[in-house]
Structure 1
Amino acid sequence: MGDERVAVITGAAHGIGRRTAEVLAEEGYVVAAIDLTAVDTVAFPFVGDVSDERDVTRFAAAVEARYGRVDVLVNNAGIASIAPAEATTATQWRRVLDVNLTGPFLLCQAFGRGMLAGRAGSIVNIASVAGLLGVADRVAYNASKHGLIGLTRTLAAEWGGRGVRVNAVCPGWVKTEMDVESQSSGAYVDGDITDQVPMARFAQPDDIARAVAFLADPTKSGFINGTALSVDGGWAADGSWQSLRLETRHR
């Protein structure tokens, strides 16, 4: 144990989580991570399931024993489920909610207690544009991300006055392994996304990681608490119909 600043990240083996771990490490944090597979890019890897309370408890205890503190918690682990609402099974629904919403709640509890005791800390939950809008054929995913924003705001209200800031980042569609898997099912193609986004591109993991680093840093975002920060190229802001949206790009 020492004076290191410690960041905990869930789902850090790939995509947004992996890049966020790299960016926070570049900024001087010691990074601990939990994932279903081993993470080879962090100082303290732990294999476990964020939806399993026993795994979360063991992970939190191991981080506390190793470092004695946590300054930042990033709840990034998440899974998707693409199916019409009427065809989504209860098993699918529960698994998505368990990973995407119950998991962050368990991590916030486990690490939030120490932050509250020290009256300092930042929690960043990775939500989605699908937590701000309805996206067809993703009922469980949408509900989980809407719930995650609700969790964020509630904890911000409860914990902000005790030194712990809680915020969410809401990415648009990001070029990650999850996108590749979703596209392989035939659900959409690149143009469906780029035509929708005013900035006409996918997000990259680095776009999201930089936003997380901003919200993690009390010198840069010390009075930001309870926000849902859209990092979506303007997706959630644009109420244009499709032909108008595309026309504006060529004026």
Structure 2
Amino acid sequence: MNVAIVTGAAQGIGRCTSEMLAEAGYALALIDRQPCSSVAPAAEREEFMGDITDDGFVRHCAETVRRRWGRADVLVNNAGISFIAPAEAVSVIDFRRVLEVNLVAPFLLSQGFGALMLQQGQGSIVNIASIAGITGIANRSAYNASKHGLIGLTRTLAAEWGAHGVRVNAVCPGWVKTEMDHVDQAASAYTDEDIIGRVPMARFATPDDIANAVLFLADPARSGFINGHTLTVDGGWTADGSWQSLRLSHR
């Protein structure tokens, strides 16, 4: 049985991805700070509650997976946090916290579970980055830096581990309707129309849109020679350089 590890599995993209992986026959190791008991309850599964920035906790998760299944086939580094504020108002504490969760933790998890993959000579790591990792978006200095860094980490691990059968890729979502989006909007950071008006496909992404991209990159039968790639799933946001009136004239 193949084994998939998903962080931030309790809700949003992580939950949807976990459920799709379970439907595809994977056993699941679900990692979050809150319970995941309602996520794919019929699957063979292990649940971990803790802080992924704690290297001791990450080592415990990897060792438990090794003892139970003896392998790790897919790691989805999905857990992340946002922080919205003008750069001049961001504290060092807040900046470091975003980097710890969004960049340092994926490195720790890739180290821990990547070791299993390297031993078995195969595996797929999929990092959930963002279009904020390939563009600049105002008031998100810490978040943007973390996601740019995650794409850099993706490419570096792909270069180091590809010859050993371990592929490392990134998915860059645009705006997705998730719990994180609801919190950001509640802070009056933006409106639905701000996003819909900017996306050529005139809608938010759904968690399913992102999860399907993850499953594609996880499956060696469909993406076995894709390594170090950044797959943008943004409805055309980063492709469209039109000004707003021109963009809307094509609706």
TM-score by length of 1: 0.97
The AA in structure 1 aligned to 2:168 is V
Equivalences for 1:70-149 in 2 at 5 Å?
Answer: 70-149=72-151
Q: CA deviation at 1:117?
A: 1.1
Q: CA deviation at 1:184?
A: 0.2
For residue 61 of structure 2, what is the aligned residue in structure 1?
A: 59
For residue 232 of structure 1, what is the aligned residue in structure 2?
A: 234
For residue 24 of structure 1, what is the aligned residue in structure 2?
A: 21
Q: Deviations over 1:49-102 (max 9, x none)?
A: 111111101111111111110000000000000000000000100100000000
- Counterpart CA distance in 1 for 2:54 and 2:246 is 47
Q: Deviations over 1:30-65 (max 9, x none)?
A: 111111011112511100111111110111111111
Q: CA deviation at 1:196?
A: 0.7
Find out whether 1:34 has 2:31 as its counterpart.
yes
Equivalences for 1:215-230 in 2 at 5 Å?
Answer: 215-230=217-232
Structure 2 unmatched ranges of 5 or more? none
For residue 212 of structure 2, what is the aligned residue in structure 1?
A: 210
Q: CA deviation at 1:248?
A: 1.2
Q: Deviations over 1:111-135 (max 9, x none)?
A: 1011111110000000001001000
For residue 174 of structure 1, what is the aligned residue in structure 2?
A: 176
RMSD, aligned CA: 0.6
Structure 1 unmatched ranges of 5 or more? none
The AA in structure 2 aligned to 1:232 is D
Alignment match of 2:2 (pick from 5, 20, 23): 5
Segments of 4+ moved more than 4 angstroms: none
- Counterpart CA distance in 1 for 2:24 and 2:153 is 27
Q: Deviations over 1:146-166 (max 9, x none)?
A: 000000000001111110000
Alignment size in residue pairs: 246
Q: CA deviation at 1:205?
A: 0.2
Q: Percent sequence identity over matched residues?
A: 65
- Per mean C-alpha deviation after superposition, the further-off stretch among 176-185 and 51-60 is 51-60
- Counterpart CA distance in 2 for 1:172 and 1:165 is 23
- Counterpart CA distance in 1 for 2:103 and 2:52 is 10
- Counterpart CA distance in 2 for 1:61 and 1:118 is 15
